[in-house]
């Protein structure tokens, strides 16, 4: 049975779009369907993108009671199995984290655990990366717990930082990679190919990755060396 996915987005929703398109391309072998798009902002572009594809949408009211939030209600109404944050700026309330332990994921536009945490979103992340002098940034898909950007890492992919970059050019390069990585992670988690082991202590769970493993063959190794030489120009 396919997972029913809720996407939570505060912004334009380009990640939402890439997930919708990827699942559509997978067709019958996809492991989930986007059954709800929720936003804390009524003018979020993500809501328009969802409506154009006839995906149900909801604008979330501000949380009043910490033990029963509008988000928890919406997830229950739509019988959601997996919660996918895609540019969602609010902290996921504790009632949802408790009920959906190991079933909430996020994409972060840098290589966690660096450049994450409270206040690290949007262009601020990319500005911090550039100011640090790092030559590599990237994307991180991770499980979500009650602390910003702390949950167990599912997948990462590097993106080079060039000397000519500003926050805008770096953000655009990273976003292109988000659109490739995140939909694939969403389908893998929806299909149970990547899960979290149970643990009583938040943050100490391990990633259980049941995809077939592979070994780099010697000829691939030399190709990797060639690619590194090309990329670094040395």
Point out which residues bind ligand GRF (CB under 6 A).
9, 11-15, 86-87, 107-109, 175, 178
* CB-nearer residue toward ligand GRF: 156 or 208: 156
Strands 82-85 and 194-196: unpaired
* CB-nearer residue toward ligand GRF: 53 or 68: 53
DSSP 108: E
**Nearest distance, CB of residue 127 and ligand GRF, angstroms:** 13
Say if residues 182 and 107 touch (Cβ distance below 8 Å).
yes
* CB-nearer residue toward ligand GRF: 12 or 56: 12
**Nearest distance, CB of residue 198 and ligand GRF, angstroms:** 27
Residue nearest to ligand GRF (CB): 87
**Residue at token pair 């540019």:** 87
Say if residues 5 and 34 touch (Cβ distance below 8 Å).
yes
Alpha carbons 198 and 64: distance in angstroms, whole number: 30
Q: Which helix (H) or strand (E) holds 140?
A: strand 136-143
Strands 104-108 and 82-85: parallel
End-to-end CA distance of the chain: 50
219 in catalytic set = no
* CB-nearer residue toward ligand GRF: 122 or 217: 122
**Nearest distance, CB of residue 13 and ligand GRF, angstroms:** 5
DSSP 213: P
> Which candidate in 22, 54, 78, 108 is catalytic?
108
Say if residues 14 and 54 touch (Cβ distance below 8 Å).
no
**Nearest distance, CB of residue 68 and ligand GRF, angstroms:** 26
Catalytic positions are: 108
């Amino acid at each position: 049975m396919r997972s029913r996915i809720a996407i939570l987005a505060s912004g334009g929703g380009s990640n939402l779009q890439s997930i919708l398109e990827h699942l559509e391309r997978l067709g019958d072998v996809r492991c989930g369907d986007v059954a709800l798009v929720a936003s804390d902002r009524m003018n979020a572009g993500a809501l328009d993108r969802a409506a154009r594809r006839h995906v149900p949408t909801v604008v979330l009211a501000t949380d009043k009671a910490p033990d029963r939030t509008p988000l928890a209600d919406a997830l229950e109404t739509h019988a959601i199995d997996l919660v996918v944050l895609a540019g969602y700026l609010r902290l996921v309330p504790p009632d949802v984290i408790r009920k959906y332990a190991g079933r909430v994921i996020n994409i972060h536009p840098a290589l966690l655990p660096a450049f994450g945490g409270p206040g690290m979103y949007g262009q601020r992340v990319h500005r911090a990366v550039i100011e640090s002098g790092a030559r590599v940034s990237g994307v991180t898909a991770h499980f979500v717990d009650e602390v910003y950007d702390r949950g167990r890492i599912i997948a990462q992919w590097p993106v080079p930082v060039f000397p000519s970059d500003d926050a805008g050019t770096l953000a655009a390069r990273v976003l292109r990679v988000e659109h490739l990585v995140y939909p694939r992670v969403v389908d893998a988690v929806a299909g149970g190919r990547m899960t979290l082991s149970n643990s009583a202590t938040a943050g100490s769970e391990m990633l259980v990755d049941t995809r077939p493993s592979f070994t780099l063959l010697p000829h691939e190794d030399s190709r990797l060396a060639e690619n590194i030489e090309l990329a670094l120009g040395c």
